Each structure stands twice: as C-alpha cells, then as structure tokens.
Chain A
C-alpha cells in the first residue's frame, strides 16, 4: 500500500550514541516533516522539508539533523542521544500546492528509548 514507511519501529540507544531514523514515502509528496510525540504535549515539529534539497527547523530541532536528497526519503539523525530524546517519532508527508492546505499522511512511528 502507498504511504509513509518508517524504520525501525522500536529502538533502544545508550546515551551518546547516534542513529538515523528512516522515512520514505511513495506518493510523490513534496512536503515532509518529522514530529515527536510526548504524553500531554501533542506532536511537536522537529524539522521539515518543502522539497529535495530544502530543509528547515521546527519547534524542537536541537539534537537532530535532517537532509532531503530525494523526494522520497527524509531521514532524521540523532547526533548524540540523550534521555530527553526518549519519545515516539512520526514522519509525515503532504501534498501542498500553492494556495492550498491538505492533510498529512503519517507513518506508524518509531518508539525510541535512550538509557
């Protein structure tokens, strides 16, 4: 089925380790974003991209890096994991033509624990 695919589904890291959360979509959406979900705080935007080669910061970008070399892929890198980055991470994509707003399609999430 077409959609947003995230890997891995679960991950445990030690403090200081680095890793990359993968995100791929096959809907030719130009807009992609990463959110983290924490209890009582909703979903907070980490980074987003409006197309290949273009990325920008969201509300909570510190400790995370992104790149967008293709339309399909938008990986999220944790540079040096900290316990505060324990969360559920969601990747989302959207078709966003000029003058319009459309709903996002979310992946199924990556549950990350940093010990």
Chain B
C-alpha cells in the first residue's frame, strides 16, 4: 500500500519553464512534508519542506503548494535549469513513539532540456 503517491514518473521541461510534480497522501496524521532531490550516484538531499498549517512555502526558485483538505501537495520549480535535472521524491512523516517515520513517493525523474 503506497501511502504517498507521486506523479508523473518522468517529466521533460524546457529550460526556463516551470516544472510541476504532484503528490497525494492518505494518512491525515502526517505532519511534515519534505521534498528530496537526488542526483545519479548520490543519496537524496533535503530540498524544501512544509508543515500542514501552511499553504505555501517558497525558497528561491522552489515552491511547495499544500492543500490540506484535498490531501495533496506539489513542488513547483520556476525558471527550470539544466542543473535541476535529477530525481525528486516527495515524502510525508509523522512521529510515532518519539520516532520520525518518513514514507516516500515513487519519485519523478526530471529532465531540463537546454
């Protein structure tokens, strides 16, 4: 059972365009929603994160939009650059007995064409 569903699996965007990746979750107990960026041969790295009491968070060209009632959140990359080409994972976590349990979406392979 996939607790966090991510789409699309792959995405091709022209340089300067907007990249949009969507995620949906089921468990309303999740209270932290991070996005991770992974380059080939590397481990995932935290990109940006949001809590459910906020509808939007922006850091540079990266923005998370969060819709609590729809249980959906998305990553927008403005002015996409070839260096943004990577695999992106959304995730959701909640604390259980002091442990932060993180579950990931399936990942989106993003390619930015120059």
Q: Do A and B bind each other?
A: yes
A residues lining the B interface (CB < 8 Å): 4, 31, 33, 35, 40-45, 48, 50, 56, 58-59, 90, 92, 94, 96, 98, 101-109
How distant is B64 from chain A, measured CB to nearest CB, in Å? 13
Q: Which size class do B's interface residues fall under? A: 20 to 34
Inter-chain CA distance A94–B58, complex, in Å, is 23
B residues lining the A interface (CB < 8 Å): 4, 6, 9, 31-32, 34, 36, 41-46, 49, 51, 89, 93, 95, 97-107
Are A101 and B95 in contact, CB atoms less than 8 angstroms apart?
yes
Choose one: A42, A45, A98; the contact of B105 (CB below 8 Å).
Answer: A42
Inter-chain CA distance A90–B31, complex, in Å, is 23
Most A C-beta atoms less than 10 A away, residue of B6, B97, B106 = B106
Contacts of A35 in B (CB 8 A): 104
Inter-chain CA distance A21–B58, complex, in Å, is 37
Contacts of A105 in B (CB 8 A): 46
Inter-chain CA distance A48–B31, complex, in Å, is 19
Inter-chain CA distance A113–B81, complex, in Å, is 34
Are A101 and B100 in contact, CB atoms less than 8 angstroms apart?
yes
Most B C-beta atoms less than 10 A away, residue of A43, A58, A59 = A43
Are A42 and B43 in contact, CB atoms less than 8 angstroms apart?
no
Inter-chain CA distance A98–B95, complex, in Å, is 9
Contacts of A103 in B (CB 8 A): 34, 46, 49
Contacts of A56 in B (CB 8 A): 99
Contacts of B9 in A (CB 8 A): 40
Choose one: B41, B97, B100; the contact of A94 (CB below 8 Å).
Answer: B100
Most A C-beta atoms less than 10 A away, residue of B6, B31, B43 = B43
